[in-house]
Amino acid sequence: MNLEQLLEEIDHIDSFKRYGRVKRVVGLMIESQGPVSSIGDVCYIHLNNKRKKTIQAEVVGFKDEKVILMPYTSVTDISPGSLVETTSKPLEIKVGPSLVGKVVDSLGQPLDGTPLPKGLTSVLTEEEPPNPLSRPPISQPIEVGVRLIDSLLTVGNGQRVGIFAGSGVGKSTLLGMIARNTKADINVIALIGERGREVREFIERDLGPEGLERSIVIVATSDQPPLMRIKGAYTATAIAEYFRNKGLNVMMLMDSVTRVAMAQREVGLAIGEPPTTKGYTPSVFSTLPKLLERTGTNENGSITAFYTVLVDGDDMNEPIADTVRGILDGHFVLDRNLANKGQYPAVDVLKSVSRVMNHISVKEHVKAAEKLREMLSTYIQSEDLINIGAYKKGSSAEIDEAIALYPKITSFLKQRTDEKASMEESIQKLYRLIGKGE
């Protein structure tokens, strides 16, 4: 920055500090008289106690000339008349290459209590999605190291995919496999609304040391205020965008986008939004596209994103699942019945789609994948007849072929969590199993 620019910046500095006073606290909502601020501005609430402690809050709305704030932490110790100071700026976090290998909270602070590394850059957590015309088309596959995905549901570099499943079907395990085995330059992993116990288990067991050394993990557990859970998703996306703008291919994994939607519903209800679809407020359905569209490709690099969607009662048509499926470039469905049979990863190939596979894979690969799907579908449709002995061999050549191949297909779809499978090996195994689509 030259001297003229520096002087211009000084001229634009607001030298006044603006304050307000807390008038009311109802549940998660804090009402204050002033200060003058905008939606999204971060404020400090000065507590009236001996410790002179402050807590951070964010402006989320206005009502009858009063400012409505939501805290990033608990509202204990706030009293009527507590001083509210505005920063007149939205939330910023610090990010840089030295953050790799760290586990941070929604505000970008290390969870282990250590200070942030030196040389980090400040970035805003909320940005606009890239211009549609500045997004290069997805043209290259990216290896994720999971045989079933690389061969049958090939993911493109910059694609956004939803992983839909009920609880306890193996979402976190699948994300850990992708993080360890992917060929992306860096992983950004957001654990939103998780149980506190599961965070360390995921980092040590599912991710492992080899995965952590090339990852940044952002954690917002279920006990934290809803605004912190929402900000966890925005912070993770901002970190991924920083590395994309540096020209890297980023792998972003978020578990789960459903918890973000639930947190947004809590905020919406608290500020007076009407509940609409199954209790979700309108802001939920406007927030999801803004968040999910920020990932993908731009002129510098790419963010390949996997978002898990927790479906209540395994209902794939509930509002959040339906909305997210319409926004993303593909969906992988995890099936509880497959998990009960011991088939991991428990991806239901017939219900899962990668919308860019046909554009990034060679014809022989696409045909072989379609052939395996046909064989699997034929067997599933005839499974009841086969199991009760009602099917006679020779009645249908297609069913006979499906019966012969089914054990090999099942073995092909299974993969141990510690097993590495390159994309080339996976496709060659598919060819040996099915042929090149003949």
Strand partners, 210: none
User: Looking at residue 34, what is its pLDDT?
Assistant: 84
77-136 pLDDT per residue, tens:
788 888 999 998 999 999 999 999 999 999 999 998 899 998 899 999 999 999 999 999
Smallest CA-to-CA distance from 144 within 279, 305, 274, 372 is with 305
Q: Which of 174, 181, 177, 136 is nearest to 158 (CA)?
A: 136
pLDDT top residue among 317 and 107: 107
- As a whole number, the mean pLDDT across the chain is 90
Look-up of token digits 């994300």? 175
| Nearest one of 168, 215, 224, 161 to 196, comparing CA atoms | 224
Residues 170/338, Cβ–Cβ less than 8 Å: no
Q: Between the ranges 225-234, 312-321, 428-437, where is the mean pLDDT highest?
A: 225-234
Q: What is the band of 224 on the pLDDT scale with cuts at 50, 70, 90?
A: very high
User: In this model, does residue 51 exceed pLDDT 70?
Assistant: no
Q: Has this prediction a pTM greater than 0.75?
A: yes
Q: What's the rounded mean pLDDT across residues 432-438?
A: 73
Dump pLDDT digits (tens) for 142-189: 999 999 999 999 999 999 999 999 888 888 889 999 999 999 999 999
Q: What is the pLDDT, as a whole number, of residue 85?
A: 92
* β-bridge pairing 66-71 and 296-297: unpaired
Residues 6+ apart with CB under 8 A from 186: 100, 214, 215, 216, 243, 248, 250, 251
Provide the percentage of residues in the chain whose pLDDT is more than 70: 97
Question: What's the confidence (pLDDT) of residue 15?
Answer: 66
Confidence band of 317 (pLDDT split at 50, 70, 90): confident
The number of C-alpha atoms within 13 Å of 418 and in the hemisphere containing its C-beta is 3
Q: How far apart are CA 171 and CA 256, in angstroms?
A: 9
Is the pLDDT at 436 greater than 70, yes or no? Answer: no
What are the DSSP calls for 144-198, one per residue?
-S-HHHHHHSPPBTT-EEEEEE-TTSSHHHHHHHHHHH--SSEEEEEEEEE-HHH
Ranges of H-type helices in 388-438: 397-413, 423-434
- For the stretch 25-48, pLDDT in tens is 988 889 999 898 999 999 999 987
Encoding tokens for residue 257?
């986008």
Query: Is the pLDDT at 394 greater than 90, yes or no?
Result: no
Q: What is the pLDDT of residue 5?
A: 78
Residue pLDDT, tens place only, 342-355: 899 999 999 999 99
Residue 437 confidence (pLDDT) above 60: no
